[in-house]
Structure 1
Amino acid sequence: MKIKPKKQYTVEFKERAVKRVKDGQSITTVRKELGLGDQTLRNWIAAANEGKLPGVGSKVITPEMMELSQLRAGNARLKRENEIIKKAAAHFAKDVL
Structure 2
Amino acid sequence: MNQKYSAEMRDRALRMLDEAKPDHSNLMAAVRHVAGLLGMSPETLRVWHRRREVDAGERPGVPTDVAEENKRLRRENAELRKANEVLKAASVFFAKELDRPSTR
TM range (shorter): 0.3 to 0.5
| TM-score, reference length from structure 1 | 0.44
Larger RCO of the pair (alpha carbons < 8 Å, separation 6+): 1
| TM-score, reference length from structure 2 | 0.42
Higher helix share: 2
